[in-house]
Amino acid sequence: MTEDPLGLLVRFLRFPTISTQTDHAEDLHQCAGWLANLLQSMGLHAEVHPTAGHPVVLARTPHDPAKRTILIYGHYDVQPPEPLDLWETPPFEPSLRNNRIYARGATDNKGQILAHVLGVRETLARTGATPVNIIFLIEGEEEIGSPSLEAFLLARRDELACDVICISDNGMAADFYPTLSYAMRGIAALEVRVKGPCVDLHSGVFGGAVMNPATAAARLVASLHDADGCVMIPGFYDAVLPLTDWERVAAEACPVTDADILAQSGAPALFGEPGYSAVERIGARPTAEVNGIGGGYQGEGTKTVLPSHAFIKLTFRLVPAMEPEKILDLAEAHLRAHCPPGVTIEIERGHSGMPYFSDPMSADGLAAQRAIERVFGAKPCLSREGGSIPILTTFKEILGADSLMLALASPDCAAHSPNENFPIRNFHAGIALNQALLEELAAVPREGIHGYRGDVPDLTAASRLA
């Protein structure tokens, strides 16, 4: 018996596939097996491939050399659900209300990738074959920066050869608004540990005579921005490419205003670099964000302590043509130069990924736009995303293929937040979109009429070395 889409989504969402927490490794393994079984039951050849980290699910339709090959990428891992007390229903017990399904991963990315899987299932049920060869690559480490995927791509480059990559892991410009994203920001992560005395000290006995590491951490954080929110790291903006003319025209057609972003954020006011709209600040400008800061007593009441250490977790979001390692070099030099006297700092680099940029007017981009128009009844707006999917530039480097980013996420999906949800109509639209997409992509001439418009930056390593 074929299980209905919603029933399958509920089962998918029950796996607590939190990739950053090692005690969930078995849950990721179980979920990968479940997914491979589903793909196998649809008639695809599906396998779970172990990696140094969480497994990759790979599935494909029988290869027909006369057809184009489309790789559909997604992830089955999720972000941690904390803070748990803010969830109206438990994060791994999917709940239906308000015509939405609530669970961690509902939008990011289980609902969106399952829509593509079920689109293929419907095409197969309807016609017995897909109009293109399909490869599903569904990984379990996207939310921790895809540490095992590059080696996996290098080892299987030939079997993963494809004409174009499709992804739904990004947001619609407005509620149920047809959207094709053509850029994602890059990312570079850094953790600073500030060290002072060997142990926590009595703040009355020593306070005033030694530097407080929490104060030092706050001073380091304060050195990152000026009062307007511009990043003060020397050289930070040097490589940033301004928006091109066609992008400004495309942005004009997008329905998002500063007031929309303010409402979605729930913050009391917007804040950021002067001279840019909120959409530009998010999509086209780089940032330095404090993701976490700590040190000293965190418990109830007061404790007169001078903490021995403090920490800062930072990520930088990058736009074309910034490079993560260069930005981390600049940031490290800046932080060392601003380290207050009386403490030492240790800096550890975390994951990083290049920004991604593609041409929405390529032959495949236009095919994706037609598919979106068929399903939503209106032409999509073309958007730059503020989030990151670092593997996209690696796909381009290793497989030579561009990525089409077909948004299914609602602006109020609460990805990474409590009460994450996916509107049921977005799920069904995604299933229909996959079918239209395969048809439109099948009709693109094999070599494509691919030609950059001349102002699309090439961000691959080859071009950076040239």
Closer to ligand BES at the Cβ: 233 or 413? Answer: 413
Which of ligand BES, Mn ion, none sits in contact with 286, Cβ below 5 to 8 A by type? Answer: none
Whether the Cβ atoms of residue 93 and residue 106 lie closer than 8 Å to each other: no
H-state helical runs in 270-362: 278-283, 324-337
Interface positions, 140-169, toward Mn ion (CB under 5 A): none
For residue 115, the minimal CB distance to ligand BES (Å) is 14
Catalytic-labelled residue, pool 27, 77, 139, 200 = 77
> 47 an active-site residue?
no
**94 contributes a contact to ligand BES by CB under 6 A:** no
For residue 289, the minimal CB distance to ligand BES (Å) is 10
Segment near Mn ion (CB under 5 A), from 62-70, 101-109, 181-189, 405-413? Answer: 101-109
Report the interhelical angle of 112-127 vs 424-442 (nearest 10°): 60
Interface positions, 354-383, toward ligand BES (CB under 6 A): none
Q: Which helix (H) or strand (E) holds 348?
A: strand 344-353
**288 contributes a contact to ligand BES by CB under 6 A:** no
**169 contributes a contact to ligand BES by CB under 6 A:** yes
Which of ligand BES, Mn ion, none sits in contact with 385, Cβ below 5 to 8 A by type? Answer: ligand BES
**The pair of three-digit structure tokens given for residue 93, joined into one six-digit string:** 């017990």
Segment near ligand BES (CB under 6 A), from 12-20, 220-228, 270-278, 387-395? Answer: 387-395
Identity of the amino acid at 74 = G
For residue 394, the minimal CB distance to ligand BES (Å) is 12
Residue 121, burial from CB neighbour count under 10 angstroms (0-12, 13-18, 19+): buried
314: nearest Cα among 298, 297, 335: 335
Closer to ligand BES at the Cβ: 112 or 369? Answer: 112
**108 contributes a contact to Mn ion by CB under 5 A:** yes
CA distance 181 to 407: 7
CA distance 182 to 466: 24
CA distance 45 to 137: 12
CA distance 101 to 12: 12
**105 contributes a contact to ligand BES by CB under 6 A:** no
For residue 314, the minimal CB distance to ligand BES (Å) is 13
Phi, psi of 97 (to 5 degrees): -160, 160
**If DSSP codes are grouped into helix, strand and coil, which group holds residue 129?**
coil
Catalytic-labelled residue, pool 27, 139, 141, 142 = 142
> 143 an active-site residue?
no
DSSP string, 39-55: HHHTT-EEEEE--SSS-
Q: What residue ranges bind ligand BES (CB under 6 A)?
A: 108-109, 142-143, 145, 169-171, 187, 351, 353, 385-390
Q: Which residues are catalytic?
A: 77, 142
Q: What residue ranges bind Mn ion (CB under 5 A)?
A: 108
